[in-house]
Homo-oligomer: A and B are copies of this chain.
């Protein structure tokens, strides 16, 4: 039998080599009609629709989104950048972001910036190269070069977990300085006069620390910022560094009567060390965490902390991107989701 005249090797097609054209042929329509049947079914006659769907079913066709994205300039891909996945802080946000995006037919690409700026450029290149419909920045950002690059890329950007004065584009976060101040108020109202801070050494934690000490000065708890005992530990914070941190703080004279920790994990370490030493919490020392992670309500004593709605942040970030991608305009570009101090037993 004569094979039809074809160029020698028809090229390796993706193993599941069924294309829209194949489906269309099987359904007896043109490719564009098949495309419409899948993407905008209301534009297609019911009977045609049924034929196309049957053809899809029979062939097991899965549309190639690379091709679709190239043709339509909409990749339906969203990139998220986190300093590290292994930190518990942003997980909630990434989780809800992933879920919310999936609901709208978008997929999440994950990038780790690390806590260093060096690989950041490579990461941006990798991300922009995929032409995502949006980029969600979580936590720390960014070299000035990186910011400029993002702006000129024209890709919608949502920065999260912070409220910076000059956002790249959109912003979903809260004021870390205000959160620190709120904790200062809380401790002051409960009569604590020798507060200390145990803090991871990252930018946002430092901002909370600043807000905290500043408010303590305003309240008259301390005369000078230097009067607040501060112990910095390297990021990421751990239970172990919390234990070591409390040990160090207890050696001070006078010993503090409260510790504001920059993370719940740190606070859990403080509780652990206090229990190990027989130091009564909150009687001898009050402990406040940050984040309200899942375990905060179940520690012993239960942990007073600052709650951030990480899930809400993720969901809102997703909405910002999706609305923009679909050409709908969002009312506003800066969203303050706030925070709340959750009173429990430890303070």
Shortest distance between the CB of A261 and any CB in chain B (Å) = 14
A256 to B240, CA, bound (A): 29
**Total copies of this chain within the assembly:** 2
Chain A residues within CB distance 8 Å of chain B: 12-16, 60, 62-67, 69-70, 73, 75, 77, 84-86, 88, 91-92, 94-95, 98-99, 102, 105, 107-112, 119, 122-123, 125-131, 149, 152-155, 238-240, 243, 265, 268-269, 272-273, 275-276, 294-295, 297-300
Inter-chain contacts of A85 with B (CB < 8 A): 85, 91, 94-95, 98
Inter-chain contacts of A129 with B (CB < 8 A): 62-65
Shortest distance between the CB of A104 and any CB in chain B (Å) = 11
Shortest distance between the CB of A106 and any CB in chain B (Å) = 9
A84 to B73, CA, bound (A): 30
What are 16 inter-chain pairs, A to B, with CB distance below 8 A?
A16-B154, A62-B125, A64-B131, A66-B75, A67-B70, A86-B92, A94-B110, A98-B110, A98-B112, A107-B109, A107-B111, A107-B126, A107-B127, A238-B294, A269-B295, A275-B275
CB–CB A295/B239 < 8 A: yes
CB–CB A243/B298 < 8 A: yes
Inter-chain contacts of A16 with B (CB < 8 A): 128, 152-154
Inter-chain contacts of A110 with B (CB < 8 A): 94, 98, 108-110
Which residue of the partner chain B has the closest CB to A99?
Answer: B112
Known: A13-B73, A62-B153, A85-B85. 7 other contacts (CB 8 A): A16-B154, A77-B109, A102-B112, A102-B119, A109-B109, A268-B295, A275-B275
Once A64-B131, A128-B62 are accepted as A-B contacts, the answer to whether A238 and B86 lie under 8 Å apart by CB is no
A332 to B265, CA, bound (A): 40
Shortest distance between the CB of A180 and any CB in chain B (Å) = 25
Inter-chain contacts of A66 with B (CB < 8 A): 66, 69-70, 75, 130-131
Shortest distance between the CB of A266 and any CB in chain B (Å) = 11
CB–CB A272/B299 < 8 A: yes
A298 to B12, CA, bound (A): 54
A85 to B92, CA, bound (A): 8
CB–CB B275/A15 < 8 A: no
CB–CB A294/B239 < 8 A: yes
Inter-chain contacts of A15 with B (CB < 8 A): 153-155
A239 to B298, CA, bound (A): 6
Which residue of the partner chain B has the closest CB to A299?
Answer: B272
Which residue of the partner chain B has the closest CB to A124?
Answer: B62
Inter-chain contacts of A269 with B (CB < 8 A): 295, 298
A339 to B239, CA, bound (A): 23
